[in-house]
């Protein structure tokens, strides 16, 4: 129970009634889960508690409703009766059948002190001193793996995969490099916003120089992202909000160009057809490789490793092809429409209204905030530097100072995204080799993401 090999060494959140101490909460990471590491104590719970649940609205949870299921699951070593089962898969015993004289002495001491004695606290009389019941059969721990899983091992529709976690990113050096990459990419994303604001907002400067107002915008964006990352409920606001505003912006500019203006829907489809020509001539855009391509390739590599990690925590048991559609096809349609509309504005010389320009900048900044939020959540969770652990004030100050400082280092050309991208490429090759050498069979047996990886927005809205 206290070893990392067989148990996840979890801790509770700080308990306010225990001087804010964190309590040890190990959970089994072997076949059978926690039933393979616990104390094997078998206690159903008091009948009156079940009846109270039903009284309070849990229809069907009264003791007489659940008793048949307790009996069906149980194989009581001393035979069945009105309360105990004898043919179920879960073996239950009372230890060594009370052969140790100290057991009887302990029970007698309780009776001498004025307490009741019971032969079966899971039976008719639940109050009193008596023998402890345990999930033991034939002298062995009888976990859920022994009771349910192993008898079904020969089924053709069951495949049991152990050690399925690749665990590459838990190697200490890899963990450090991975989080350095995430932090560096996060700061560089903020720097890119800073570097491009002169072009987006020439009204605030000369169109080339980074003026103090741009620093204020970027630092405010970082602050908003840090604050939003401190609570899980803001995931919905940012992810859905930025997507909705982007769609509304596209729809508004599309209407202006192809419905209210001189263009027509047919012009839109004609312009969209040019995208096919772009892909047919990719070699002309990519070759020869120059500094521009190098810059974006390293940046994309830096982002790719974080997208995989962040997505893996929120996908809900979907297949690889479904994930491909969700992550690549659907966004590509929106981006394709967006660039089609922009190209039409450029080709026809259409002026972009001040309001539309401000809307474009606002959506762009919000998407940067959304990106920073995701990256900050990722590295703080990886390093266990969450707001719940540090407190929100310390969390916000720490991450704000870190991100602002690193953004300035990129601005001063002290840091380069090429270095970060090179680390990612090295991680990819190392991870691939690690899987081939140590985890090939386990990875090959994985069919889809675990179904428990579900982002339930209904629960997020209730999060504190």
CB atoms within 10 A of CB 455: 14
Report pLDDT for 462. 40
The percentage of residues in the chain with a pLDDT greater than 70, rounded to a whole number, is 88
Is residue 71 over pLDDT 80? yes
Which residues have C-beta within 8 Å of that of residue 417, sequence separation ≥ 6? 184, 185, 188, 295, 298, 299, 302, 410
Mean pLDDT of 275-296: 71
- Look at strands 90-92 and 74-76 and give their pairing: parallel
Which residues have C-beta within 8 Å of that of residue 258, sequence separation ≥ 6? 264, 265, 267, 268, 344
**Cα 91 to Cα 95: distance, rounded to the nearest angstrom:** 11
Long-range contacts of 292-300 (CB under 8 A, 24+ apart): 294/418, 295/417, 295/418, 297/421, 298/417, 298/418, 298/420, 298/421, 298/422, 299/185, 299/188, 299/417, 299/421, 300/421
Q: Identify the bridge partners of residue 41 per DSSP, sorted by sequence position.
A: 134
**Cα 403 to Cα 188: distance, rounded to the nearest angstrom:** 9
Is residue 370 over pLDDT 60? yes
Q: Is the pTM of this model over 0.85?
A: no
Is residue 459 over pLDDT 50? no
Q: Left (φ > 0), alpha (ψ -120 to 50) or beta: where does 188 sit? A: alpha
Residue 27, H or E segment: strand 24-28
Q: Which of 317-321, 370-374, 398-402, 435-439 has the highest mean pLDDT?
A: 398-402
Q: Which of 104-113, 185-194, 302-311, 326-335 has the highest mean pLDDT?
A: 104-113
**Cα 340 to Cα 320: distance, rounded to the nearest angstrom:** 29
The residue to which tokens 């094997």 are assigned: 40
Report pLDDT for 448. 55
């Amino acid at each position: 129970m206290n070893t990392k090999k067989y148990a996840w060494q979890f801790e509770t959140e700080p308990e306010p009634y225990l001087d804010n101490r964190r309590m040890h909460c190990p959970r089994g990471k072997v076949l059978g889960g926690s039933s393979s590491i616990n104390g094997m104590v078998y206690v159903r719970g008091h009948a009156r508690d079940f009846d109270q649940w039903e009284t309070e609205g849990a229809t069907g949870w009264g003791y007489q409703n659940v008793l048949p299921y307790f009996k069906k699951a149980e194989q009581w070593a001393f035979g069945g009766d009105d309360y105990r089962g004898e043919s179920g898969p879960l073996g239950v015993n009372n230890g060594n059948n009370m052969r140790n004289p100290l057991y009887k002495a302990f029970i007698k001491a309780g009776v001498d002190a004025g307490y009741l004695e019971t032969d079966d606290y899971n039976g008719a009389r639940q109050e009193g001193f008596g023998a402890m019941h345990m999930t033991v059969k034939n002298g062995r721990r009888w976990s859920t793996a022994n009771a349910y899983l192993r008898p079904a091992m020969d089924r053709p529709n069951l495949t049991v995969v152990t050690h399925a976690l690749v665990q590459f990113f838990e190697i200490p050096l890899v963990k450090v490099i991975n989080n350095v990459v995430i932090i560096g990419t996060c700061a560089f994303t903020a720097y890119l916003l800073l570097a491009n604001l002169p072009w987006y907002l020439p009204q605030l400067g000369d169109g080339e120089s980074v003026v103090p107002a741009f620093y204020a915008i970027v630092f405010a964006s970082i602050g908003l992202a840090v604050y939003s990352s401190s609570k899980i409920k803001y995931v919905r606001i940012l992810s859905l909000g930025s997507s909705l505003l982007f769609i509304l912006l596209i729809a508004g500019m599309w209407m202006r160009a192809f419905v209210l203006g001189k263009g027509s829907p047919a012009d839109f489809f004609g312009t969209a057809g040019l995208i096919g020509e772009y892909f047919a001539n990719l070699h002309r855009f990519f070759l020869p490789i120059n500094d521009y391509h190098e810059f974006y390739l390293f940046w994309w590599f830096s982002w790719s490793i974080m997208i995989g990690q962040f997505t893996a925590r929120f996908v809900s048991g979907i297949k690889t092809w479904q994930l491909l559609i969700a992550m690549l096809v659907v966004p590509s349609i929106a981006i394709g429409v967006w660039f089609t509309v922009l190209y039409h504005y450029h080709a026809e010389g259409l002026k972009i209204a001040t309001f539309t320009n401000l809307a474009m900048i606002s959506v762009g900044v919000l998407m940067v905030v959304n990106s920073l939020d995701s990256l900050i959540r990722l590295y703080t969770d990886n390093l266990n530097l969450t707001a719940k652990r540090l407190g929100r004030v310390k969390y916000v100050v720490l991450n704000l100072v870190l991100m602002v400082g690193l953004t300035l280092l990129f601005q001063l050309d002290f840091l380069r995204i090429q270095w970060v991208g090179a680390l990612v490429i090295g991680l990819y090759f190392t991870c691939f080799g690690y899987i081939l050498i140590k985890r090939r069979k386990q990875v090959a047996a994985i069919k889809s993401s675990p179904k428990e990886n579900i982002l339930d927005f209904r629960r997020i809205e209730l999060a504190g």
